Every structure is written in structure tokens, then in C-alpha cells.
A and B are shown apart, each in its own frame.
Chain A
Amino acid sequence: AQSVTQLGSHVSVSEGALVLLRCNYSSSVPPYLFWYVQYPNQGLQLLLKYTSAATLVKGINGFEAEFKKSETSFHLTKPSAHMRDAAEYFCAVASGGNNRLAFGKGNQVVVIP
């Protein structure tokens, strides 16, 4: 079964600093990978997705992620954090021929002014 691991439930970053959120996946077949963002008391919004085209994927709000098969990783980055980036971020994987997504436990990002 597919799964993802996100380490560090809370991540603090200074405004203007690099945002780096780590995601490692486990899948026996080529995966499809997603990053979602959730603002307080709202649903999830798609940031970006990897579907076996380019390994470097650009998303909304200045975020990007790089798929590295050798490391089974799909880390999310943003060069310069903004206060509006304070939210919870989830990595998810789909594989095996169905639509089911397996989500990581999430990273709560706090941006320090």
C-alpha cells in the first residue's frame, strides 16, 4: 500500500526565509504525488502535482517541488516565506490504478515576522 511520511508536525520559518517541507513516499508502482494547503477551518486546496512529466513541478503561490525517484522524495519549497503562507500543508500519493489518495500527517507552518 502506498504511504507518505512528513516529518516535523510544526515548522517555524522567518518571513523572507526559505520554506522547505519534506515528503517521502512509499509506493510499489510509479506514484502520482500532490501537495495541498489548508487554511484554518477550510478545505484543502491543491498547490501542485507530479504526474510523471517534468520532475520539477511549479505550483501556485510561488511553491515548487522536485520529484526524486532515487530518494523517494517530493519535497516542497518556496524561496521566500510570506505571512500568508502560514497554513497546514499535506503531501499525498496515489498509485496502484485507483483514485485513492494517502495523506501524510501534515506540517503546520508558522511564519515569524
Chain B
Amino acid sequence: DGGITQSPKYLFRKEGQNVTLSCEQNLNHDAMYWYRQDPGQGLRLIYYSQIVNDFQKGDIAEGYSVSREKKESFPLTVTSAQKNPTAFYLCASSIRRQANEQFFGPGTRLTVL
């Protein structure tokens, strides 16, 4: 079955630690995205990548970093510089053509203690 996997489902970290969230897709999509979801805020774009070895900042990139070394993988690192990292993080992918929908993974809920 083709799809997007995110691991782990739940993640707990101590304040001040960096943490990396995994996102893998086997849909052969060129474009991948990371969103942050907070209650009542909708989805906000953190970073996106339209092709391997290239990525762009979204609307709330501060305190986050990404890499895109392989087409299938787009890991997100939440650094200690992110002031309020506790949130639900969603990864998505799409064909690199306008009007094509984004397909979403199941999400990772990060709690920073």
C-alpha cells in the first residue's frame, strides 16, 4: 500500500533538547511538506520541499530545520530554539503540479516537558 508514514505517533522530550520527527512516503511524490497544528489555529506551514536537495521556509520556520537527501524522506528537527514546540505535527506530500491535492501522514504529537 502506498502512503505516508510518520514516526513515532507520540513523542516526549525535555525542554532544551532537539528532536527529529520522521516522515517517509512511497508515493513517488516530488513535493513534501511539514505543518504544525495547534487547537483553533488550523495548519501552519513550517517547511516544504519541491525536489530533492532543495527546500523552502514556510510561514513559521523559526526554531525548525529540515533536510531532503532522498525523495522518500523529509525529516523535521525541532530545535531548542523553538519557543513553544508542543503541538501536533503533520507531514504531507504531493505531485509537483498545481491543483494536485496533498496526501497526509497520521501525524506525530510532540510534548515537551
Chain A residues proximal to chain B, CB less than 8 Å: 9, 32, 34, 36, 41-46, 49, 51-52, 90, 94, 97-101, 103-106
Contact = CB atoms under 8 A, between A and B. Distances in A.
Contacts of A49: 99, 101
Interface residues of B, number: 29
16 contacts: A9-B40, A32-B99, A36-B104, A41-B109, A42-B106, A44-B90, A46-B101, A49-B101, A51-B99, A90-B42, A94-B98, A99-B94, A99-B100, A100-B48, A103-B42, A105-B42
Contact of B105 (A43, A94, A99, A105): A43
Nearest to A45: B104
B99 A43 contact: no
B99 A94 contact: yes
Interface of B: 4, 31, 35, 40-45, 48, 50, 58, 88, 90, 92, 94, 96-107, 109
